[in-house]
A and B are shown apart, each in its own frame.
Chain A
Amino acid sequence: MDNAVRISAAAMMVREQQHEMTAQNSSNIDTDYYKSNELFYVNTEDDTPEAASTTDLSGGALRTTSNPLDVVLGKKYFMKAADDEGNIYYIKDGRLSLNSSGELTFNGMKILNTSGTSIKVQSLSDFKITQTGECMENNAVVDKIDIVQAGSQAKVTPRADGTFTINDAGVEAPSGYALITQGMREGSNVNRVNEMIKMVNTLNSYESNQKLIQANDDAVSKAITEFGKF
């Protein structure tokens, strides 16, 4: 009996965690470049389930902003960026900006060119980025963004600041156009219907597990009262 209660209680806690992820996706339904996460459970050696998450890297809806520093990359493509300490991160968030020295940055991290240094922009009014990541000013190629693709061996891990890390074996040279669209932004890829359905399912499952605990409680109290009668 005790075991049945424990199982139902564990199921309720799992549903709570899944609901948190739904809340996260829902609160970011309007966050540009947000990639939705899904929670799943893996069995560990000692048979206790452990939570893990996967990030859906597919694209969201595109919208025009006419800002030359807004770019969108294809699903498997990433731009390379470096923080002040020189650590390399991969980014899909195309809300780029310039710093006070005119370098292309994302959240303070410098976007790297194919030689591994920062990219300087002289004037934004005629700044263009081509589909392969070449940066053009006055219709002449001046630099090239280092774009990589996540290959079949890739393990793409999200980081808290919206960047990603990719294992070395998974980083490949882009096989085609990186599909950079300039002057556009990508919305979040959260699917409203999916999240609502998940929420309904979560609530139903939560409720049935609650009922199971109550039924168990009923059975126990019945056992106590009925068996006591002669």
Chain B
Amino acid sequence: MRALWISGSGMAAEEQKLDLIANNMANLNTVGFKFQDAYVQEMSQVDDDGRNVQVNPAGTTVSSITRNFTQGNIQSTGNSLDVAINGDGFFEVTMPDETTGYTRSGQFSLDANGTLVTANGNKVYPEVTVSSDTSSVAINANGQITATKNDGTTQVIGSLELAKFINPGGLTDDGQGVFKPSANSGDPVVDSPGKQGLGTLQQGYTEGSNVDLASEMLKMMLTQRSYEMNTKVLQTTDQMMSLANGIKR
């Protein structure tokens, strides 16, 4: 009976949704994390002979997984190399294979040469190097980086840029909070923070994840009950098959 496979597809979809919920909840405190959601679609085939229409059921499927790029909460850390983006945009980073990646995670630090790197050790683009005789670094809302030397003199040593995409949902996930452009995302628009609708920067803050614990809990409850309902259908199908077999005693 087809009903068996239909409720099976429902259970598989609920399992996939639960995986995403678990991942979202595990990243509740990951800086710059954006939650994921399953895009679920029904599957069917429709017969239309002109007089009557019949929907032939084929179950359900998770056709894609979408990422929601809404703003996370801005949290104070007091660390001068933590930078949060308030609004649209991504930091550009140079990946180990020299390609450009995009991230919202602005937990920067300096490597052995004094170059600004992300928490994963990837260099921030455009590259900024802080010399060893620097006492403090100031990053303003528009990305300009000013270093104050030990002798009290100040110097502009570079500036951060942001990139935005017309369809960030089309970015591909490169892992560790880094995204790569794809045919669906469109090309990056790069400019200084605050220009062309890009967000501004906040030094000493990080952007928390945009996971909402309450809504994840609600989704989890719904997922469990939907799974349960599919198992009931499955049981009924099983009973019907047993009855069919029972015709012949």
Residues of A within 8 A of B (CB): 12, 15-16, 19-24, 26-32, 34, 37, 39, 42, 50-53, 55, 65-67, 95, 97-102, 121, 123-125, 157-162, 192, 195-196, 199, 202-203, 206-207, 210, 213-214, 217
* A98 engages B167 (CB within 8 Å): yes
> With A and B bound together, what is the CA distance between A162 and B44 in angstroms?
9
| B140-190 at interface with A (beta carbon < 8 Å) | 166-167, 169-170, 183-187
> With A and B bound together, what is the CA distance between A158 and B42 in angstroms?
12
B236's partner among A12, A97, A162, A203 (CB-CB below 8 A) is A203
Shortest distance from the beta carbon of B30 to any chain A beta carbon, whole Å: 20
> With A and B bound together, what is the CA distance between A6 and B130 in angstroms?
88
Given A53-B53, A67-B70, A95-B39: A26 touches B233 (CB 8 Å cut-off): yes
Residue of A at shortest CB range from B167? Answer: A98
> With A and B bound together, what is the CA distance between A15 and B237 in angstroms?
11
Q: How many A-B residue pairs have CB under 8 A?
A: 161
* B243 engages A210 (CB within 8 Å): yes
B217 beta carbon closer than 8 Å to chain A: no
What secondary structure prevails in chain B residues at the interface with A? mixed
Given A34-B42, A125-B88: A16 touches B3 (CB 8 Å cut-off): yes
Shortest distance from the beta carbon of B168 to any chain A beta carbon, whole Å: 9
* A37 engages B249 (CB within 8 Å): no
* B166 engages A100 (CB within 8 Å): yes
Residues of B within 8 A of A (CB): 1-3, 6-7, 9-11, 13-14, 17, 39-46, 48, 52-55, 57-60, 68, 70, 87-88, 166-167, 169-170, 183-187, 197, 222-223, 226, 229-230, 232-233, 236-237, 239-240, 243-244, 246-247, 249
In the complex, chain B residues whose CB is within 8 Å of the CB of A99: 167, 170, 184, 186
Given A12-B244, A23-B3, A160-B46: A52 touches B54 (CB 8 Å cut-off): yes
Closest 3 CB pairs of A and B: A27-B10, A24-B57, A52-B52
* A20 engages B166 (CB within 8 Å): no
In the complex, chain B residues whose CB is within 8 Å of the CB of A27: 6-7, 9-11, 13, 59-60, 230, 233
Residue of B at shortest CB range from A64? Answer: B215
* A-B contacts, 28 listed (Cβ < 8 Å): A16-B240, A19-B3, A20-B6, A23-B57, A23-B59, A24-B42, A24-B44, A26-B229, A26-B230, A27-B10, A28-B42, A28-B59, A28-B60, A30-B13, A30-B17, A31-B41, A37-B57, A52-B53, A53-B55, A98-B169, A99-B167, A100-B170, A123-B197, A125-B197, A158-B53, A160-B43, A199-B232, A202-B236
In the complex, chain A residues whose CB is within 8 Å of the CB of B232: 26, 196, 199
In the complex, chain B residues whose CB is within 8 Å of the CB of A158: 44, 46, 53, 55
A214's partner among B59, B166, B169, B249 (CB-CB below 8 A) is B249
